[in-house]
Structure 1
Amino acid sequence: MNSEQAFEKSLLALEEKGFDGIREPERVLATIWSVEAEVNNGGFDQLFYNSAGDVAFYAAKALQSIGAYEMAAISQRALDLFGENGPPKDRDVRVEKLEKISEVNEEYLNQLDYDFTEYPDDIIELLSIYVQSNF
């Protein structure tokens, strides 16, 4: 199975069974797909605002799981803006908190977006290795 097929399988499983109902490798890939897509498209602000943000709390752990330690650290800094418990899983609550965070931390979030999209880790290679080992 290649990475694209593994992503598709993971996203389908997430949609059908929910985050808690899928295997760890599927959680990792579904989270990375969501985080990467949203941050590349509109930044962490967009990630937290959209429904993909429902799994954002898992971003740093998922990236660490594949060995993307720099990107995990960047993601953790974004998650930390929500406080000790990270971003709420409930979208309405998360968006309400995000609005307050964004007002005060706009420049910081923009820098995190930039740092993430510079891809300090070779995520393509790391994902390929992870998929080979877990799917």
Structure 2
Amino acid sequence: MTSFSDISSALRIERVTLGADSLQLTLANGSEHNQPYRMHSVLEKATDVQRTQWVLVDGGCGIAWPALVPPDEVGLINTLDLAWEASYDAAMALLKQADWQLEALPSREQDLCALWRLEADMNNGGFLQFFGNWGEANCRIAMAALQKMGAHQALAIVQRQRDIVQRLEDDPRMQSMQDIYGLLTEAESDELDELDHAFWAYPDRLAPLGLACYGWGDMASPVPERG
């Protein structure tokens, strides 16, 4: 596992070049990354002068525009997040090549694909969407990956949600995942909702933990179609 210090040092922003349609980040490891303004509505709508008013945050890995967006510790664009997304994209591209057969991939790529599915579905519709779409096997891989990364708070959230759903597995009324919504008690539904919100707050910042554990892909790679 690579240390966070090594990761942040390699991905620190050394130079920002503003173009007509995008900005280019030159990183400490010598790599370059173009970020189109259209990916961030505030930058797309900003004037040329406003775009020049950036500051570095997060140890030089994040870039913020305080006049456009209230700054936080991560920034509007962060190279740690971009590198983590690139790791996901590379793994998902391999999954597509394997005809979406997760078990056909090496364990590292299985972990990354399971984590991508967890993050994507949790952020879109919550745990029940994730578990309903991908099932027990994918959930188990994602949880093991969170443990491996040291994302203990995120793991505890997902584990508790899994425990709530597991109660219903032996219920004869449950014939499909769609039945779960009617079988949950009101208290269980409320707890699942609270846990979804807790996950969305990202008590563990997954990008640096994931990069230290799994490394990263080419940040300039195109995003593959996802199934």
User: Shorter chain as normaliser: what TM range?
Assistant: 0.7 to 0.9
Aligned residue pair count: 128
**Higher relative contact order, chain-length normalized (CA < 8 Å, sep 6+):** 1
Distance 1:131 1:38, change over 3 A: same
The counterpart of 1:98, out of the listed 162, 168, 180, is 180
Contact 1:43/1:113 (CA < 8 Å) preserved in 2? yes
1:129 is matched with 212
Question: In terms of Rg, which structure is larger?
Answer: 2
Q: Aligned equivalents of 2:102 and 2:175: distance in 1?
A: 18
Distance 1:25 1:122, change over 3 A: same
Identity %: 27
Distance 1:97 1:23, change over 3 A: farther
**TM-score normalised per structure 1:** 0.76
What 5-or-longer segments of structure 1 have no aligned partner?
87-91
Distance 1:8 1:59, change over 3 A: same
What 5-or-longer segments of structure 2 have no aligned partner?
1-82, 217-227
Equivalences for residues 1-135 of structure 1 within 5 A: 2-15=83-96, 16=98, 18-49=101-132, 51-53=133-135, 55-83=138-166, 95-104=177-186, 105-132=188-215
- C-alpha displacement at 1:119, in angstroms? 0.9
Q: CA RMSD in A?
A: 3.0
Contact 1:74/1:115 (CA < 8 Å) preserved in 2? yes
Aligned residue identity for 1:95? M
- C-alpha displacement at 1:100, in angstroms? 4.1
**TM-score normalised per structure 2:** 0.48
Instruction: Identify, as 1 or 2, the structure richer in strand.
Output: 2
